[in-house]
Amino acid sequence: MADLTTELNLLQQIRLIAGLRLRIFRNGLRGKNKQLDVLGTVIAAVFGTLLIVGFSFAFFSGAYQFVQLGRYQWLGLLFWAIFIFWQFIPVFTAGFGAAFDFRKMLRFPLSLSAFYVVGLAYGFFDFSSIACVCWLSVMTLGVAAANPALFPAMAITCFLFLLINLTLERTVGSWLERILARRRAREIFFALFFLLIISVQFISPMLQRYGRSAAPGITIVLPYLHYLNVFPPSLAGHAIAGAGGHHASEFLLGAAGLTAYILFFSVFLWIRFAAQYRGEELSETVAPRAVPRRVAPSGSRRDALSLLSPQVAAVLRKEFRYLTRNSFAFFLLIMPLAFVLLFSMQFAGRHPTALKHSLSPDTFFPGMMGYLILILMAPAYNCFAFDGRGIQTYFTSPLSFREVFLGKNLMQLTLSAFELAIAIFAFSYIVGLPSLPVLLATLAAMVFVISGQLAIANWSSVSFPRRLNFGQMRGQRQSGMGGLVSFATQLLLGTICAPILFLSRWTHSPWLPAEVFAFLAAGAIAGYFSSLDALAQFAERKKESLIEALSK
């Protein structure tokens, strides 16, 4: 066979990878159900561009002003901002799943050095990298506009700073990729990420409550800030300051420091890429140890769920196991408690931070419970999301889909009841319980709202299914229509409940809302059970689209 292959140069290889990623992105938007994805991408692109352009003005004028004022060392602040953005945004998005694994390039004839450079260049295709390169460029222009003599020094410094960021980001990214190759590690990462997001919500109320007394703490930290000088952004600032003050030695020292960082990070990156080049296997599968296991004689066991039909009990057990193995969903269980704490600090109790006068428990309690139900019931609108291909088992088993709905809804109810009970306990401790008529009216309203939603949620789950994967967040978006149905239903039920709660004020009959809600709750429960057979038939009719959507 004639050897017609020729060696591609690095630029050609990088161009091929860029083209490949673009093609994957475009093909991912194909298909009749992708219009919303296209819209989402366009909106994200518009916001991304606005962010880059908006901050470009800020970086340009900041750099220009600092040089004009002779405060060269303040440029370090701008370098710090870029450094933090460049390094932290990819870390936050890393666990959201890799869209393209550049290690697949290993099947092609690449030398280790070419693989290293291609891997490094791969880092340029991230949003954070593109944004930061733009900002470094406009900073350079800003400095040059204020003092053209500084342009060479600024260009060199920015180039070195760019290389540091790129190398560090790829080093952290590739090590993170190795750590997150394990599903469990990924889930813990998501959980911690989510906890961080929730914790951030507490910063404002905590500062408002304890800010004054915390001020001396900040002054303690200030003297230690000079230790930041040894980090790359400060070194870059010092290098420019040296150049601006005509101290060549300071500029060279800063540039040498930046170069040392590049070499230091490059060694770690080289180690990682070399391991990948050798064919490192980042498998999901933990090689299990063979544990000899004898079949134990099985005695008759009492079934703890014997009151339920075997099928409903089986679905309920399966749902519970899925919940306990979905670390991310499991961590979401702390949300109700976190929200009670958060909103109580802001709107109720003895010292609300967001209001001058705290809301009374009679007003705050129904609102808080309504909000929690809004969160807790959201997954019910796509209740087959995590079943994946397992959905086929339901359709090949000898049962009516009614039993599947019952099992899933029972799990949803048990979980909601548990969460709401904890939330009510926390509420009573922090704020205090409302009056008995309001408490009972709210409890009856909760039964009404939850039962009333279940039938619609079941319908939505069959009509607008969307597969969600464990331990993955990228692309884990609920169906747009499912979300809309959920929102419309909750809005409708809220619109029904709000005036009923106020009936007591208008009629001066404190027990009237509780009576009305008890009546509505009974009706909603009856409606739920009478809907099951019709929904089972509906699921049978929609099974093809349901299986197709969940088996993708």
Partner 1 sequence: MNGAAIVTHKLTRRFGGLTAVDNVDLTVAAGQFFGFLGPNGAGKSTTIKMLTGLLSPTSGRAELLGIDFAQHPVEVKRQIGVVPEGMGLFERLTGSEYLQFVGRMYGLDASTTQCRSEELLEFMQLADRPKTLIADYSHGMQKKLALAAAVIHGPRILFLDEPFEGVDALAAGALKALLGRMTERGVTIFLTSHVLEIVERLCSHVAIIDKGRLVAQGSLEELRAGIPSAEGTKTTLEQIFLSIVGQDASQRPQLEELSWLT
Exactly one of 388, 437, 480, 494 binds partner 1 (CB under 8 A); that residue is 388
Q: Where in 463-492 is the site for partner 1 (CB under 8 A)?
A: 470
Residue with token string 């190795």: 178
**And the tokens for 456?**
């619609």
CA-to-CA distance for 216 and 226, rounded, in angstroms? 18
Candidate list 203, 225, 290, 307; residue touching partner 1; CB under 8 A? 290
**Residues 317/324, Cβ–Cβ less than 8 Å:** no
Determine, following the binding rule CB under 8 A, whether residue 215 of this chain makes contact with partner 1. no
Nearer to partner 1, 367 or 388 (CB): 388
Burial 306-343 (b: 16+ CB within 10 A, else e): eebeebbbbbbbbbeeeeeebbbbebbeebbbbbbbbb
Name the minimum Å distance from CB 410 to partner 1. Answer: 15
Q: Is 398 in the site for partner 1 (CB under 8 A)?
A: yes
Cα(436)–Cα(425) distance, rounded to whole angstroms? 15
Smaller CB separation from partner 1, 323 or 443: 323
**Collapsing DSSP states into helix, strand and coil, what is residue 281?**
coil
The distance of closest approach from Cβ of residue 323 to partner 1 in the complex, given in angstroms and rounded to an integer, is: 10
Least distance in Å: CB of 537 to partner 1?
Answer: 11
State in angstroms the smallest separation of the CB of 284 from partner 1. Answer: 7
From 137-145, 152-160, 283-291, 366-374, span contacting partner 1 (CB under 8 A): 283-291
Give the tokens for residue 64: 């220009």
The verdict on 390 binding partner 1 (CB under 8 A) reads yes
Task: Look up residue 163 and give its two tokens.
Answer: 């290389």
Angle at 96 between CA 91 and CA 99, to 5 degrees: 105
State which of residues 15, 71, 389, 477 lies at the interface with partner 1 (CB under 8 A): 389
Euclidean distance between CA atoms 408 and 465, whole angstroms:
15
Among 200, 292, 351, 357, binds partner 1 (CB under 8 A): 292
Binding mask 183-212 for partner 1 (x = CB under 8 A): x-----------------------------
Tokens in use for 84?
Answer: 């933090």
Where is 316: in which H helix or E strand? helix 310-325
- Residue 500: partners with Cβ closer than 8 Å, 6 or more residues away: 441, 445, 513, 516, 517, 520
Task: Tell whether residue 393 is a contact of partner 1 (CB under 8 A).
Answer: yes
Give the nearest distance from C-beta 407 to partner 1 in angstroms. Answer: 10
CA angle 43, 47, 48 (to 5 degrees): 115
Does 545 sit near partner 1 (CB under 8 A)?
Answer: no
- Kindly state the smallest distance separating residue 317's Cβ from partner 1, in Å: 7
Count of residues of this chain found to bind partner 1 when the rule CB under 8 A is applied = 49
21 or 183: whose CB is closer to partner 1? 183
DSSP for 483-515? HHHHHHHHHHHHHHHHHHHTHHHHHT-TTHHHH
In the bound state with partner 1, the residue whose beta carbon lies nearer, of 394 and 459, is: 394
For CA atoms 188, 418, 488, 527, give the dihedral sign: positive
Tell me the C-alpha distance between 254 and 235, whole Å: 5
Supply the minimum distance, in Å, between the C-beta of residue 30 and partner 1: 18
Nearer to partner 1, 388 or 483 (CB): 388
Binding mask 298-327 for partner 1 (x = CB under 8 A): xxxx-x------xx-xx--xx--xx--xx-
Alpha carbon of residue 203 to chain centroid: 19
Name the one range near partner 1 by CB under 8 A: 20-28, 225-233, 353-361, 390-398: 390-398
Question: Side chain identity at 365, as an amino acid letter?
Answer: F
Where does this chain bind partner 1 (CB under 8 A)?
Answer: 1-2, 183, 284-286, 288, 290-293, 295-296, 298-301, 303, 310-311, 313-314, 317-318, 321-322, 325-326, 386-400, 470, 541, 543-544, 547, 551
